[in-house]
Protein backbone atom coordinates (compact mmCIF):
# COMPACT_ATOMS: atom_id res chain seq x y z
CA UNK A 1 0.00 0.00 0.00
CA UNK A 2 1.16 3.53 -0.84
CA UNK A 3 -0.38 6.43 1.08
CA UNK A 4 0.46 9.92 -0.18
CA UNK A 5 0.33 12.98 2.08
CA UNK A 6 0.41 16.49 0.66
CA UNK A 7 2.10 19.59 2.04
CA UNK A 8 0.71 22.78 3.54
CA UNK A 9 -2.94 22.08 2.97
CA UNK A 10 -5.67 20.16 4.71
CA UNK A 11 -5.84 17.68 1.88
CA UNK A 12 -6.65 14.19 3.07
CA UNK A 13 -4.07 11.48 2.56
CA UNK A 14 -4.79 9.38 -0.50
CA UNK A 15 -4.11 5.72 -1.18
CA UNK A 16 -2.36 5.50 -4.54
CA UNK A 17 -4.01 3.42 -7.23
CA UNK A 18 -2.07 2.01 -10.20
CA UNK A 19 -2.32 4.32 -13.19
CA UNK A 20 -3.09 7.48 -11.20
CA UNK A 21 -0.80 10.50 -11.17
CA UNK A 22 0.71 11.76 -7.93
CA UNK A 23 0.53 15.54 -7.48
CA UNK A 24 3.61 17.76 -7.45
CA UNK A 25 2.91 18.88 -3.88
CA UNK A 26 3.20 15.33 -2.52
CA UNK A 27 5.28 15.46 0.66
CA UNK A 28 5.13 12.12 2.43
CA UNK A 29 5.11 8.74 0.70
CA UNK A 30 4.15 6.10 3.27
CA UNK A 31 4.78 2.61 1.90
CA UNK A 32 3.29 -0.33 3.80
CA UNK A 33 4.60 -3.71 2.61
CA UNK A 34 4.81 -2.20 -0.90
CA UNK A 35 4.59 -3.91 -4.24
CA UNK A 36 7.07 -3.22 -7.05
CA UNK A 37 4.62 -0.84 -8.76
CA UNK A 38 4.09 1.14 -5.57
CA UNK A 39 7.82 1.31 -4.97
CA UNK A 40 8.46 2.59 -8.50
CA UNK A 41 5.64 5.16 -8.26
CA UNK A 42 6.99 6.55 -4.97
CA UNK A 43 10.53 6.64 -6.32
CA UNK A 44 9.47 8.47 -9.49
CA UNK A 45 7.33 11.05 -7.68
CA UNK A 46 9.82 11.73 -4.88
CA UNK A 47 13.00 11.51 -6.94
CA UNK A 48 14.59 9.28 -4.27
CA UNK A 49 15.55 5.63 -4.23
CA UNK A 50 13.16 3.51 -2.18
CA UNK A 51 15.15 0.89 -0.19
CA UNK A 52 14.39 -2.80 -0.44
CA UNK A 53 13.55 -4.83 2.67
CA UNK A 54 16.93 -6.57 2.63
CA UNK A 55 18.64 -3.16 2.64
CA UNK A 56 16.96 -2.31 5.96
CA UNK A 57 18.27 -5.35 7.85
CA UNK A 58 21.90 -4.26 8.06
CA UNK A 59 23.54 -4.73 11.42
CA UNK A 60 26.41 -2.27 11.09
CA UNK A 61 25.90 1.44 11.59
CA UNK A 62 27.39 2.22 8.18
CA UNK A 63 24.67 0.17 6.50
CA UNK A 64 21.91 1.67 8.61
CA UNK A 65 22.45 5.36 7.92
CA UNK A 66 23.83 6.95 4.77
CA UNK A 67 24.00 10.56 3.66
CA UNK A 68 23.34 11.26 0.00
CA UNK A 69 23.82 14.47 -1.96
CA UNK A 70 20.41 15.82 -0.98
CA UNK A 71 18.91 13.17 1.30
CA UNK A 72 19.49 10.96 4.31
CA UNK A 73 18.80 7.23 4.23
CA UNK A 74 17.90 5.92 7.67
CA UNK A 75 16.92 2.41 8.71
CA UNK A 76 15.52 0.72 11.81
CA UNK A 77 16.23 -3.04 11.53
CA UNK A 78 14.03 -3.86 14.52
CA UNK A 79 10.87 -1.77 14.65
CA UNK A 80 8.15 -2.87 17.10
CA UNK A 81 4.92 -3.74 15.32
CA UNK A 82 1.46 -2.74 16.44
CA UNK A 83 0.73 -5.92 18.43
CA UNK A 84 3.15 -7.49 20.89
CA UNK A 85 2.47 -11.00 19.62
CA UNK A 86 3.64 -10.15 16.11
CA UNK A 87 7.32 -10.21 15.13
CA UNK A 88 9.16 -6.93 14.70
CA UNK A 89 9.87 -5.75 11.17
CA UNK A 90 12.40 -3.34 9.68
CA UNK A 91 11.55 0.24 8.78
CA UNK A 92 13.27 2.65 6.44
CA UNK A 93 13.16 6.44 6.12
CA UNK A 94 14.55 8.48 3.24
CA UNK A 95 14.39 12.22 3.87
CA UNK A 96 15.12 14.91 1.31
CA UNK A 97 14.51 18.64 1.09
CA UNK A 98 11.27 18.21 -0.88
CA UNK A 99 9.83 14.91 0.32
CA UNK A 100 10.11 12.03 2.75
CA UNK A 101 9.62 8.32 2.04
CA UNK A 102 8.90 5.77 4.76
CA UNK A 103 8.94 2.02 4.16
CA UNK A 104 7.41 -0.33 6.70
CA UNK A 105 6.00 -3.84 6.69
CA UNK A 106 3.43 -3.75 9.48
CA UNK A 107 0.82 -1.44 10.91
CA UNK A 108 1.99 0.91 13.64
CA UNK A 109 0.15 3.21 16.02
CA UNK A 110 3.05 5.65 15.81
CA UNK A 111 2.29 6.33 12.14
CA UNK A 112 -1.40 6.70 12.97
CA UNK A 113 -0.55 9.30 15.61
CA UNK A 114 1.60 11.15 13.09
CA UNK A 115 -1.24 11.16 10.54
CA UNK A 116 -3.62 12.53 13.17
CA UNK A 117 -1.23 15.43 13.71
CA UNK A 118 -1.37 16.12 9.96
CA UNK A 119 -5.16 16.38 10.08
CA UNK A 120 -4.94 19.00 12.81
CA UNK A 121 -2.09 21.00 11.28
CA UNK A 122 -0.63 20.59 7.77
CA UNK A 123 3.00 19.55 7.58
CA UNK A 124 5.47 22.34 6.89
CA UNK A 125 7.98 20.18 5.07
CA UNK A 126 9.86 16.91 5.11
CA UNK A 127 11.68 17.90 8.31
CA UNK A 128 8.35 18.52 10.03
CA UNK A 129 7.11 15.07 8.96
CA UNK A 130 10.29 13.36 10.14
CA UNK A 131 10.32 15.11 13.50
CA UNK A 132 6.61 14.50 14.11
CA UNK A 133 7.04 10.82 13.25
CA UNK A 134 9.99 10.42 15.62
CA UNK A 135 8.05 12.22 18.37
CA UNK A 136 5.09 9.86 17.84
CA UNK A 137 7.34 6.80 18.06
CA UNK A 138 8.92 8.05 21.28
CA UNK A 139 5.54 8.99 22.80
CA UNK A 140 4.16 5.54 22.01
CA UNK A 141 7.24 3.86 23.49
CA UNK A 142 6.88 5.94 26.65
CA UNK A 143 3.24 4.86 26.86
CA UNK A 144 4.22 1.20 26.57
CA UNK A 145 6.85 1.59 29.26
CA UNK A 146 4.28 3.21 31.55
CA UNK A 147 1.99 0.23 30.98
CA UNK A 148 4.83 -2.15 31.84
CA UNK A 149 5.55 -0.14 34.99
CA UNK A 150 1.87 -0.38 36.01
CA UNK A 151 1.84 -4.15 35.44
CA UNK A 152 5.05 -4.45 37.45
CA UNK A 153 3.46 -2.67 40.41
CA UNK A 154 0.54 -5.10 40.35
CA UNK A 155 2.85 -8.07 39.98
CA UNK A 156 5.06 -6.87 42.84
CA UNK A 157 2.04 -6.58 45.15
CA UNK A 158 1.05 -10.10 44.14
CA UNK A 159 4.49 -11.65 44.70
CA UNK A 160 5.05 -9.94 48.04
CA UNK A 161 1.57 -10.65 49.36
CA UNK A 162 1.18 -11.47 53.05
CA UNK A 163 -0.63 -14.64 52.01
CA UNK A 164 1.58 -17.58 51.33
CA UNK A 165 1.73 -18.37 47.62
CA UNK A 166 2.13 -21.86 46.27
CA UNK A 167 4.55 -22.92 43.58
CA UNK A 168 1.91 -22.89 40.76
CA UNK A 169 1.01 -19.27 41.55
CA UNK A 170 4.66 -18.25 41.68
CA UNK A 171 5.26 -20.03 38.38
CA UNK A 172 2.51 -17.93 36.78
CA UNK A 173 4.18 -14.84 38.22
CA UNK A 174 7.43 -15.88 36.55
CA UNK A 175 5.62 -16.30 33.24
CA UNK A 176 4.21 -12.79 33.64
CA UNK A 177 7.73 -11.50 34.26
CA UNK A 178 8.82 -13.15 31.02
CA UNK A 179 5.96 -11.54 29.10
CA UNK A 180 6.76 -8.08 30.43
CA UNK A 181 10.46 -8.58 29.71
CA UNK A 182 9.60 -9.48 26.11
CA UNK A 183 7.58 -6.27 25.69
CA UNK A 184 10.32 -4.20 27.28
CA UNK A 185 13.01 -5.78 25.11
CA UNK A 186 11.07 -4.95 21.95
CA UNK A 187 10.57 -1.36 23.06
CA UNK A 188 14.20 -1.00 24.15
CA UNK A 189 15.60 -2.29 20.87
CA UNK A 190 13.31 -0.07 18.81
CA UNK A 191 14.19 3.01 20.86
CA UNK A 192 17.90 2.29 20.50
CA UNK A 193 17.60 2.51 16.73
CA UNK A 194 15.54 5.70 16.98
CA UNK A 195 18.13 7.23 19.28
CA UNK A 196 20.87 6.50 16.73
CA UNK A 197 18.76 8.05 13.98
CA UNK A 198 18.19 11.22 16.00
CA UNK A 199 21.90 11.50 16.85
CA UNK A 200 22.83 10.97 13.19
CA UNK A 201 20.44 13.66 11.95
CA UNK A 202 21.53 16.14 14.61
CA UNK A 203 25.17 15.56 13.71
CA UNK A 204 24.58 15.99 9.95
CA UNK A 205 22.38 19.10 10.33
CA UNK A 206 20.70 18.72 6.92
CA UNK A 207 19.04 21.66 5.19
CA UNK A 208 15.53 20.30 5.76
CA UNK A 209 16.09 20.27 9.54
CA UNK A 210 16.11 23.97 10.39
CA UNK A 211 16.31 25.59 13.79
CA UNK A 212 12.79 24.56 14.80
CA UNK A 213 13.33 20.90 13.87
CA UNK A 214 16.73 20.88 15.56
CA UNK A 215 15.16 22.18 18.76
CA UNK A 216 12.45 19.53 18.64
CA UNK A 217 15.02 16.81 17.97
CA UNK A 218 17.04 18.06 20.92
CA UNK A 219 13.97 17.57 23.13
CA UNK A 220 13.43 14.10 21.63
CA UNK A 221 17.05 13.21 22.34
CA UNK A 222 16.58 14.27 25.96
CA UNK A 223 13.39 12.20 26.20
CA UNK A 224 15.22 9.18 24.80
CA UNK A 225 17.93 9.49 27.43
CA UNK A 226 15.27 9.77 30.13
CA UNK A 227 13.50 6.68 28.80
CA UNK A 228 16.83 4.86 28.76
CA UNK A 229 17.20 5.51 32.49
CA UNK A 230 13.58 4.47 33.04
CA UNK A 231 14.28 1.28 31.10
CA UNK A 232 17.17 0.46 33.45
CA UNK A 233 14.82 0.79 36.42
CA UNK A 234 12.21 -1.46 34.82
CA UNK A 235 14.84 -4.05 33.87
CA UNK A 236 16.19 -4.10 37.43
CA UNK A 237 12.66 -4.43 38.80
CA UNK A 238 11.92 -7.34 36.44
CA UNK A 239 15.11 -9.10 37.51
CA UNK A 240 14.29 -8.47 41.17
CA UNK A 241 10.79 -9.96 40.83
CA UNK A 242 12.19 -12.95 38.96
CA UNK A 243 14.78 -13.56 41.70
CA UNK A 244 12.11 -13.09 44.38
CA UNK A 245 9.78 -15.62 42.74
CA UNK A 246 12.60 -18.14 42.46
CA UNK A 247 13.55 -17.46 46.08
CA UNK A 248 10.01 -18.10 47.31
CA UNK A 249 9.84 -21.33 45.30
CA UNK A 250 13.15 -22.46 46.81
CA UNK A 251 11.83 -21.57 50.27
CA UNK A 252 8.75 -23.72 49.70
CA UNK A 253 10.90 -26.59 48.47
CA UNK A 254 13.19 -26.24 51.49
CA UNK A 255 10.15 -26.32 53.76
CA UNK A 256 8.98 -29.55 52.14
CA UNK A 257 12.45 -31.06 52.55
CA UNK A 258 12.48 -29.93 56.18
CA UNK A 259 9.17 -31.66 56.86
CA UNK A 260 10.38 -34.82 55.16
CA UNK A 261 13.56 -34.72 57.23
CA UNK A 262 11.58 -34.35 60.46
CA UNK A 263 9.31 -37.22 59.48
CA UNK A 264 12.24 -39.46 58.64
CA UNK A 265 14.04 -38.66 61.89
CA UNK A 266 10.87 -39.05 63.97
CA UNK A 267 10.16 -42.48 62.50
CA UNK A 268 13.63 -43.91 63.22
CA UNK A 269 13.01 -44.73 66.95
CA UNK A 270 9.68 -46.56 66.39
CA UNK A 271 11.22 -48.54 63.56
CA UNK A 272 14.05 -49.60 65.87
CA UNK A 273 11.61 -50.53 68.64
CA UNK A 274 9.38 -52.46 66.26
CA UNK A 275 12.44 -54.20 64.88
CA UNK A 276 13.58 -55.23 68.35
CA UNK A 277 10.18 -56.46 69.50
CA UNK A 278 9.60 -58.18 66.22
CA UNK A 279 12.55 -60.53 66.72
CA UNK A 280 11.55 -64.15 67.13
CA UNK A 281 13.68 -64.98 70.17
CA UNK A 282 12.36 -67.57 72.59
CA UNK A 283 13.15 -65.61 75.74
CA UNK A 284 11.86 -62.06 75.61
CA UNK A 285 10.52 -60.73 78.95
CA UNK A 286 8.02 -58.46 77.23
CA UNK A 287 6.18 -61.47 75.77
CA UNK A 288 5.06 -62.51 79.25
CA UNK A 289 3.84 -59.07 80.32
CA UNK A 290 0.09 -58.73 80.71
CA UNK A 291 0.09 -55.27 79.19
CA UNK A 292 3.15 -55.76 76.99
CA UNK A 293 1.35 -55.09 73.73
CA UNK A 294 -0.29 -51.75 74.68
CA UNK A 295 2.91 -50.68 76.46
CA UNK A 296 4.90 -51.37 73.28
CA UNK A 297 2.44 -49.35 71.20
CA UNK A 298 2.55 -46.49 73.71
CA UNK A 299 6.35 -46.54 73.69
CA UNK A 300 6.38 -46.37 69.88
CA UNK A 301 3.96 -43.39 69.88
CA UNK A 302 6.02 -41.58 72.52
CA UNK A 303 9.18 -42.21 70.52
CA UNK A 304 7.51 -40.40 67.61
CA UNK A 305 6.15 -37.49 69.66
CA UNK A 306 9.36 -36.69 71.53
CA UNK A 307 11.51 -35.92 68.42
CA UNK A 308 8.69 -33.79 66.96
CA UNK A 309 8.40 -31.82 70.20
CA UNK A 310 12.15 -31.38 70.29
CA UNK A 311 12.19 -30.06 66.69
CA UNK A 312 9.38 -27.63 67.50
CA UNK A 313 11.18 -26.46 70.65
CA UNK A 314 14.26 -25.71 68.55
CA UNK A 315 12.09 -23.75 66.09
CA UNK A 316 12.83 -25.96 63.13
CA UNK A 317 9.14 -26.47 62.29
CA UNK A 318 8.29 -22.78 62.01
CA UNK A 319 6.72 -21.75 58.67
CA UNK A 320 8.28 -18.28 58.50
pLDDT reported for residue 81 = 60
Share of the chain residues as helix, strand and coil, in percent rounded to the nearest 5? 60, 10, 25
pLDDT at 256 over 80: no
Q: How confident is the model at residue 39 (pLDDT cuts 50, 70, 90)?
A: confident
Averaged pLDDT of the chain: 79
Q: How confident is the model at residue 192 (pLDDT cuts 50, 70, 90)?
A: confident
pLDDT reported for residue 54 = 76
Closest CA to 213 of 133, 98, 109: 133
Average pLDDT over residues 285-296: 76
Closest CA to 181 of 50, 173, 4: 173
> What is the chain's length?
320
Average pLDDT over residues 63-86: 66
pLDDT reported for residue 69 = 55
Higher pLDDT, 194 or 284: 194
**Sign of the torsion formed by the C-alpha atoms of 168, 173, 177 and 182:** positive
The torsion region of residue 73 among left (phi > 0), alpha (psi -120 to 50) and beta comes to beta
- Least confident residue range of 103-117, 139-153, 187-201: 103-117
Cα(198)–Cα(217) distance, integer angstroms = 7
pLDDT at 165 over 50: yes
pLDDT at 60 over 60: no
Cα(319)–Cα(232) distance, integer angstroms = 35
pLDDT at 232 over 60: yes
pLDDT reported for residue 11 = 57
Average pLDDT over residues 251-259: 73
pLDDT at 86 over 80: no
- Least confident residue range of 29-33, 93-97, 249-253: 249-253
pLDDT digits (tens, 9 = 90+) for 98-143: 888 888 888 888 887 777 777 777 777 888 888 888 888 888 888 8
Global pTM exceeds 0.95: no
Separation of CA 54 from chain center: 26
pLDDT at 66 over 60: no
Reading across the β-sheet that carries 100-104, which strands appear in turn? Answer: 14-15, 2-6, 26-32, 100-104, 89-96, 71-79, 66-67
Q: How confident is the model at residue 93 (pLDDT cuts 50, 70, 90)?
A: confident
Average pLDDT over residues 291-316: 77
pLDDT at 229 over 80: yes
Average pLDDT over residues 216-226: 89
Query: What percentage of the chain carries pLDDT values higher than 90?
Result: 2
pLDDT reported for residue 101 = 87
Average pLDDT over residues 15-25: 76
pLDDT digits (tens, 9 = 90+) for 263-281: 777 777 787 777 777 766 6
Average pLDDT over residues 133-154: 88
Amino acid sequence: MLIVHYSRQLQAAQAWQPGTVIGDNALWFDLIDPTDDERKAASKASGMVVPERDDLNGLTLSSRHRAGSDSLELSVPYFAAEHDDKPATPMGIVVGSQAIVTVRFAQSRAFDLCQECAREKPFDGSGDVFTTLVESIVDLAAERMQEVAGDLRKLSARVFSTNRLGTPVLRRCMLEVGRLESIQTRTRTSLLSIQRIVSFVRAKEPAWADGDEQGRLRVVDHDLRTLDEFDDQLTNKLQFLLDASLGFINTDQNHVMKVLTVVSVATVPPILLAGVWGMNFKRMPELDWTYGYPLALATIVISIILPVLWFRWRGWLADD
